[in-house]
Amino acid sequence: MKKVFIKTYGCQMNVRDSEAVTALLRKRGYGIAVRETDADIILLNTCSVRDLAEQKAIGKMTGLAHAKKRKPGLILGYMGCMAQSRGAELLKTPAINLVVGTQKFHHLPDYLDQLTGRAGCPQPAAVVETPRRGEDTAPYQILDIKDEAGSESAVKHHEPGAVTAYVSIMQGCDMHCTFCIVPATRGAERSRPILEIVDEIRQLVDNGVKEVTLLGQIVTSYGRKKSEFVKLLTAVNAITGLERVRFTAPHPQGFGDDLVAAYRDLEKLCEHAHLPVQSGSDRILKAMRRGYNREKYLKIIEKLRAARPGIGITTDIIVGFPSETDEDFEATASLLREVQFDQGYVFKYSKRRDTPAATMPDQLPEPVKEDRNQAALAIVNAAALCHNTKLIGQTVEILVEGRSAKGAKRMMGRTRTNKIVVFDGNERQAGQLLPVRIERATTVALYGNK
Ligand code: SAM
């Protein structure tokens, strides 16, 4: 039995895709290698959002190509976003056998059958499949794994014994943010029907899952019609046995009054909202084509905090977007100070192929981006530490997920506001909702005792 190892880069969507592909390959009779060194086939599920993510995967593949000299039968492949955007050019290194874009994962078992000679036809040296935008007309191909897997239920594709699960509700992105490569790598938006999603979550709950995170590139665009996402949240909230619901990633534009009210009315919807602001400068927001301005964004935060006092709010920031002046950056810094986010992810602008921002004038030098990155991080970290420190001495409810790290003694869980809590406990507590008293805090985690 040939064994496959998949290394995943990037977002939760990629993690979910790797899980789905693993399930497809298992069904086709492939083994799953726990260690890369045990594998006959190694696939890198790639990310393209920033250049750094691409370079990491390319560096890794260069190392694997060297290793192949000692193991000539080894099959190497790229899948996912970078495979989609770079296509056949990735085959420049002759050691690589496979490049499969984001909407063709369901063909992976066939390609591997061909490459390993299992298909009975002459073995090709390499396979490339990266459909262009518009070509992928099927409504929701990656999750059509039921077709491949016969009547196998979707729940089998999640890790056994897991307390939390990601549930993909849509694919693709129809937004036009000028910095972002995702619409090109993930194709047009396609949503799954509510009933199918609810059915999958019911099965997950029957198998012990207590918390689900609804997943998509822009979940607030789900179903394309106004209020469709809130309808979905309401249906998921009604599932007996499910304790918590989260979602990622939304777009600030999607936070209408109905979604704000859902935070007030749906008891299972956790009080955490990730609202990627990207910039605090109206001029830059316009150049990014984000569809909101600073005032509108701050209004959403105000409404959310009124609807659910104590809600955890996190964000994404891009510093060094083309033409960003010191004044523009100061507007971002002042927004960060004003909102006091619970956590924030700061990214240096990275030029992405075929995006409008890549050809904008006034691309900024790296040292300027680095300085602004450090300055934004300092504000974000100070706010995060302040929020976390306030919890010292308080008792918070956590859902216990498991050991804090592989082989670690301590356990970990999350608060409803999405803060990580590490505590002394035991494995039998996994899946339980527990009160934990917080004794210590850092910028990224809380430490407590049962
Ligand atoms: N749904 C999110 C939104 O509201 O736009 C996009 C998710 S994106 C995969 C995650 C984050 O990566 C973005 O929020 C943005 O901050 C960052 N990002 C995307 N493109 C980038 C680029 N070209 N350079 C730097 N950071 C980028």
pLDDT band at 135 (very low <50, low <70, confident <90, very high): low
- Ligand 1 pocket check: which of 17, 47, 48, 49 to mutate, most ligand atoms within 8 Å of Cβ? 49
Nearest-atom index, ligand 1, CA of 181: 20
Residue 345 has pLDDT above 90, yes or no: yes
Residue 157 has pLDDT above 50, yes or no: no
Reported as a single tens digit per residue, the pLDDT across 370-385 is 999 999 999 999 999 9
Reported as a single tens digit per residue, the pLDDT across 183-194 is 888 888 889 999
Q: Which of 93, 23, 101, 10 is nearest to 49 (CA)?
A: 10
Mean pLDDT of the region 390-400: 97
Residue bearing the CA closest to ligand 1, atom 8: 49
For residues 15-45, b (16+ Cβ closer than 10 Å) or e, as one string? ebbbbbbbbbbbbbebbebeeeeebbbbbbb
How far, in Å, from the CA of 181 to the mean position of ligand 1? 9
3-state helix, strand, coil in the chain (%, to 5): 40, 20, 40
More confident residue, 132 or 173: 173
Mean pLDDT of the region 38-42: 96
Reported as a single tens digit per residue, the pLDDT across 435-447 is 999 999 999 999 9
Confirm or reject: Cβ of 352 under 6 Å from ligand 1. Answer: yes
Q: Are 355 and 180 in contact (CB under 8 A)?
A: yes
How far, in Å, from the CA of 279 to the mean position of ligand 1? 11
What is the side-by-side order of every strand in the sheet holding 272-274?
272-274, 312-319, 343-348
Residue 102 has pLDDT above 90, yes or no: no
Q: Given this model, what pLDDT does residue 104 score?
A: 83
For residues 358-371, b (16+ Cβ closer than 10 Å) or e, as one string? eeeeeebeeeebee
Residue 119 has pLDDT above 80, yes or no: no
Of the listed ranges 41-55, 58-72, 149-163, 280-294, the one predicted with least confidence: 149-163
Reported as a single tens digit per residue, the pLDDT across 283-309 is 999 999 999 999 999 999 999 999 999
Amino acid at site 438: I
How far, in Å, from the CA of 261 to the mean position of ligand 1? 26
Q: Given this model, what pLDDT does residue 349 score?
A: 98
Nearest-atom index, ligand 1, CA of 250: 1
How far, in Å, from the CA of 350 to the mean position of ligand 1? 10
Of the listed ranges 101-110, 138-147, 269-278, the one predicted with least confidence: 138-147
The pair of three-digit structure tokens given for residue 134, joined into one six-digit string = 């518009």
How far, in Å, from the CA of 263 to the mean position of ligand 1? 24
% the chain with pLDDT above 90? 75
Q: Given this model, what pLDDT does residue 159 score?
A: 62
- Ligand 1 pocket check: which of 84, 318, 352, 369 to mutate, most ligand atoms within 8 Å of Cβ? 318
Residue bearing the CA closest to ligand 1, atom 20: 180
Confirm or reject: Cβ of 347 under 6 Å from ligand 1. Answer: yes
Write down the mean pLDDT value for the chain: 90
How far, in Å, from the CA of 24 to the mean position of ligand 1? 29
Half-sphere exposure for 407 (CA within 13 Å, toward CB): 0
Q: Given this model, what pLDDT does residue 229 score?
A: 97
Q: Given this model, what pLDDT does residue 303 score?
A: 98
Nearest-atom index, ligand 1, CA of 180: 20
pLDDT band at 154 (very low <50, low <70, confident <90, very high): very low
Dmax (CA) for the chain in angstroms is: 67
How far, in Å, from the CA of 347 to the mean position of ligand 1? 8
Residue bearing the CA closest to ligand 1, atom 18: 49
Gap between the Cα atoms of 419 and 390, Å rounded: 13
Q: Given this model, what pLDDT does residue 142 score?
A: 44
Of the listed ranges 210-219, 225-234, 297-306, the one predicted with least confidence: 225-234
Confirm or reject: Cβ of 177 under 6 Å from ligand 1. Answer: yes
Mean pLDDT of the region 264-293: 98
Mean pLDDT of the region 33-62: 95
Nearest-atom index, ligand 1, CA of 249: 1
pLDDT band at 23 (very low <50, low <70, confident <90, very high): confident
More confident residue, 394 or 142: 394
Of the listed ranges 87-91, 163-167, 404-408, the one predicted with least confidence: 404-408
Mean pLDDT of the region 335-342: 98
Confirm or reject: Cβ of 303 under 6 Å from ligand 1. Answer: no
How far, in Å, from the CA of 316 to the mean position of ligand 1? 7
Confirm or reject: Cβ of 255 under 6 Å from ligand 1. Answer: no
Nearest-atom index, ligand 1, CA of 317: 16
How far, in Å, from the CA of 180 to the mean position of ligand 1? 6
Q: Given this model, what pLDDT does residue 150 score?
A: 34
CA distances to 33, 144, 207 from 28, rounded to whole Å, are 15, 15, 23
More confident residue, 94 or 273: 273
Nearest-atom index, ligand 1, CA of 175: 5
pLDDT band at 131 (very low <50, low <70, confident <90, very high): low
How far, in Å, from the CA of 220 to the mean position of ligand 1? 16
How far, in Å, from the CA of 50 to the mean position of ligand 1? 8
Nearest-atom index, ligand 1, CA of 348: 25
- State whether the Cα torsion 168-172-176-181 is positive or negative: positive
Confirm or reject: Cβ of 373 under 6 Å from ligand 1. Answer: no
Q: Given this model, what pLDDT does residue 132 score?
A: 65
CA distances to 144, 145, 197, 380, 383 from 192, rounded to whole Å, are 10, 13, 7, 35, 37
Q: Are 31 and 37 in contact (CB under 8 A)?
A: no
